[in-house]
Amino acid sequence: MKYFNSAVKLAIIRVGRDYISILANALTFITTINKRKVKLRQLHCSGTIKKIEIKARLLLSMWLNNVLKNQTLNKEESQELKTMVDNELETLSKIEQ
């Protein structure tokens, strides 16, 4: 599908509290992965995996909503994205409880 060509990739890295600043600084120096240019950014930092998962799902939902608003998609693609957003929001509500 065309809207995944420039999709944002998301990674969760687990590191000890004492090394968070070192990792954040090291990420800025990574410019290529497997001969592909990349730009790494730290989006969130948390003490628990659960909070990171909630933030990651929220970011995914925001990205999907943005794709729906900004791109002209056929009816099938649009419906598929709407279903993905609804599923993510439902999962988020279950996780937050």
For 2-42, the pLDDT digits (tens) are 444 455 577 788 888 899 999 989 988 998 888 888 888 88
Any idea where the domains of the chain sit in the sequence? 2-96
Helical (H) or strand (E) element with 36: strand 36-37
Give the model's pLDDT for residue 19. 92
pTM equals 0.56
Q: Which CB contacts under 8 angstroms, 24+ apart, belong to 64-67? A: 64/88, 67/3
> Which of the two residues, 23 and 79, has the higher pLDDT score?
23
Angstrom distances, CA of residue 15 to CA of 10, 12, 33, 47, 66: 16, 10, 20, 10, 31
